[in-house]
Chain A
Amino acid sequence: MQQEKDLVEAARRGNGDAFSQLYEDYFDRVYRYIIFRVGSQEEAEDITEEVFLKVWQNIASFKWRGVPFSSWLFRIAHNQVVDHLRKRERRKGVPLDEVAVADDVDLDASLDFQLSVEKLVAAMGRLTDAQRRTLALRFAAGLSLSETAQAMGKSEGAIKALQHNALAALRIVMSAEAGG
């Protein structure tokens, strides 16, 4: 964590190598968070690039004040997603693209259902925005409960409740779809 703090401090002063390292550390997680939210590979790619550009443009204004860098970064990602979805809403009807799932993913055969990211994103459409965001931060971006809470500006207790409700709602949606 201290190493990340040093990298962020260096990037704040304009050190491109440090920023490059942060980019490497967070790129996949940011991309996953975004594709989880928008469901389209093409759109996720565009937004991921925009996020890192925003981060670079604004990192000098980042202040620790108890907020982890990851939470700050994913707030930017969230804002970009919201902005994008708003624009998309105006255009309407953007299809979900095919996306590649990592080869090494080994779905437990005992699972009641296996999800593709498209199905997941479609099912998430039935959740509230806060629930979607909680699941995306926790499971796609891999943030801790505390980081998720700070990224969303809520208490850890609130995130636990959101997480529980989101999974329960998702289960109902998936069961309904599986049942026909």
Chain B
Amino acid sequence: MKVEDILNECIERVMGGESIEACLARYPEHAPELEPLLRVAVATATASQVEPRPGFKAEARYRLQAALQKPRRRRFALLRGQPKWVGAVAGVLLLFLAGSGTVVASASSVPGDVLYPVKTATERVRMAFARGDEARAELEIAFAERRAQEIVVLSERGRVEKVDAVVDRLTTHLERVKVRDIEVDKKVDRLKALLEQGSARNVKLLEGVAERVPQPVRAVVTRAMKRSDRGYEKAMVAVGAPSIELSVSAKAVAPEKALGTIVVSNEGKRAAEVAWLRGSLQWESEGGLWHPLATRFKSFPALEPGTTIPAAQALQLSYEVLFIAPEQAKKLRHVVEVKIVDRERVFRQATDFEAYEGEAGQ
């Protein structure tokens, strides 16, 4: 057996966890020659276990993703000898036709995945080729829904650190939903409908995931849901739809009595007509479940049909409510819902308040 064979065997053994001495004991006649070489081998292997700089791997992955946007060169073999613009147009067509496995695979990617930049690049290409404000606005609405789906995937995978950035992008899409003139643009109704449907789907998606994920993640999803909702409402206002912001405060002034205030603000650019206004109380049991409370509103605001709130103005309503709370109810919640004409959705606001603790000294 040649010495290089023995050396290699010992290297394999030492790398596998055996000590240098144990291996030398197998070949005592070669030990004097083997030992220094094995020590150099171990020192070489040890010194070369360099860790990539923190962050480099992630940065490199990100840049690689960007490079992956370009279809592989061999796809263009058919285009050799053609003018450059042919290749460029073909590249765009590939993106559009989703003929590339990369583009197809990228559709379900989320931030942090190798193919995510392919997805966003495809979106940019689609946006660049969209003609007219309305077409671009429709794409922005569609992409906002994609962002909501990404939030779901990220939350389910526990990669919550990326959620806020995706919500930023979601709201940016919605901020770009604009039309030149909401008074004359006949297609505004379509945008309103798309936004309304998109908003409803996103709420459903995010509420669904919030129920499935553990508490720390749920808090992130809930925040995302609120920011997403505000984003949709701003977009609705931008296309001329009425929008409401609700503010509710309540305080228990006796064991079975609370006083509350509701402020209904019209965030839109035109007067908003209130279709109905509802209020209810709930109590929280062990485990964070909320249950309805038997209530009797003594002076809950009864709005006349056709009540309107002028643009940029608010309606303030005070009320008194009587209720019977169970002994174990420490936290109560007042839920107010408002429906306005011309909007599909119901605006809802829930505000917690403490159960009555009695007068000081009692």
Contact = CB atoms under 8 A, between A and B. Distances in A.
Interface string B22-61: 0000000000000011011111111111111100110011
B115 interface: yes
A49 to B, nearest CB: 5
Interface stretch (A1-9, A13-21, A68-76): A13-21
A19 B60 contact: no
Contacts of B101: 13-16
A100 B51 contact: yes
B53 A41 contact: yes
Interface of A is mostly: helix
B73 A32 contact: no
A130 interface: no
B49 A105 contact: yes
B63 A20 contact: no
A32 B50 contact: yes
A49 B105 contact: no
Interface in A48-62: 48-49, 52-53, 56-57, 60-61
A81 interface: no
A35 interface: yes
Interface in A28-50: 28, 31-32, 35-36, 41, 45, 48-49
Nearest to B64: A52
A161 interface: yes
A171 B11 CA distance: 15
Given A120-B47, A145-B8, A17 B115 contact: yes
B43 A23 contact: no
B330 to A, nearest CB: 48
Interface stretch (B106-114, B208-216, B240-248, B317-325): B106-114
Interface in A100-138: 100-102, 105, 107-108, 111-117, 119-120, 135-136, 138
Contacts of B57: 27-28
A53 B114 CA distance: 12
A169 to B, nearest CB: 10
A27 B68 CA distance: 17
A112 B40 CA distance: 9
Interface in B106-159: 106, 109, 113-115, 118
A171 B40 CA distance: 6
Nearest to A140: B48
Nearest to A13: B101
A51 to B, nearest CB: 10
B165 interface: no
A167 B48 contact: no
A20 B115 CA distance: 8
A164 interface: yes
Interface in A126-158: 135-136, 138-140, 145
A32 B101 CA distance: 31
A99 interface: yes
Given A17-B105, A20-B113, A105-B49, A139 B44 contact: yes
Given A32-B50, A56-B64, A100-B51, A16 B8 contact: no
B3 interface: yes
Given A20-B115, A135-B44, A31 B36 contact: no
A60 to B, nearest CB: 6
B124 to A, nearest CB: 18
Interface string A80-93: 00000000000000
B182 interface: no
B52 A160 contact: no
B186 interface: no
A53 B64 contact: yes
A94 interface: no
Contacts of B52: 27-28, 31, 45, 48
Given A17-B113, A113-B43, A171-B36, A163 B7 contact: yes
B68 A16 contact: yes
17 contacts: A16-B115, A23-B64, A31-B50, A32-B50, A45-B56, A56-B68, A56-B72, A57-B72, A99-B50, A101-B47, A111-B42, A115-B43, A115-B46, A117-B50, A140-B48, A145-B8, A167-B44
The 9 A-B pairs of least Cβ separation, nearest first, read: A14-B101, A16-B115, A20-B114, A140-B48, A115-B47, A164-B4, A160-B4, A139-B45, A16-B105
Interface of A: 13-17, 19-20, 23, 27-28, 31-32, 35-36, 41, 45, 48-49, 52-53, 56-57, 60-61, 99-102, 105, 107-108, 111-117, 119-120, 135-136, 138-140, 145, 160-161, 163-164, 167-168, 170-171, 174
Given A14-B100, A32-B49, A138-B11, 12 more contacts: A16-B113, A20-B115, A27-B57, A45-B56, A49-B60, A101-B50, A101-B51, A115-B46, A139-B44, A139-B48, A145-B8, A167-B37
Interface of B: 2-5, 7-8, 11-12, 36-37, 39-53, 56-57, 60-61, 63-64, 67-68, 72-74, 100-102, 105-106, 109, 113-115, 118
